[in-house]
Amino acid sequence: MSVTTKKKHVTKEVLEEYPLPEGSRQVVKVVASRGNNLHEVVTSRGEKFLVSMPSKFRKHVWIKRGDFILVEPIEEGDKVKAEISHILFNEQIKHIQEQNLWPEEFSERSAAPQKGWIPEDLLPPSEDESEEDGEDRELGDLCINVNRVCIQQSQWESESEDSCSEDEEEEDEEQEEAEKDENESKTEK
Mean pLDDT split into 10-residue runs, the chain, 189 residues? 81 87 94 93 94 88 92 90 94 93 77 57 66 48 64 59 56 76 68
What's the pLDDT at 152?
67
Domain assignments of the chain as residue spans, ordered by start: 3-117
User: How confident is the model at residue 67, as a pLDDT?
Assistant: 94
CA 118/CA 22 separation, integer angstroms? 35
* CA–CA distance, 37 with 83 (Å, rounded to integer): 10
| Neighbouring C-beta atoms of residue 18, cutoff 10 Å | 13
Q: Judge whether 68 and 93 are in contact, CB under 8 Å.
A: yes
Cross-strand partners of 27:
70
Give domain 3-117's CATH architecture: Beta Barrel (2.40)
* Strand pairing class (68-73; 80-88): antiparallel
- Between CA 161 and CA 157 the distance in angstroms is 6
Quote the pLDDT of residue 90. 92
Task: Identify the CA nearest to 68 among candidates 40, 93, 97.
Answer: 93
Q: What is the pLDDT of residue 80?
A: 94
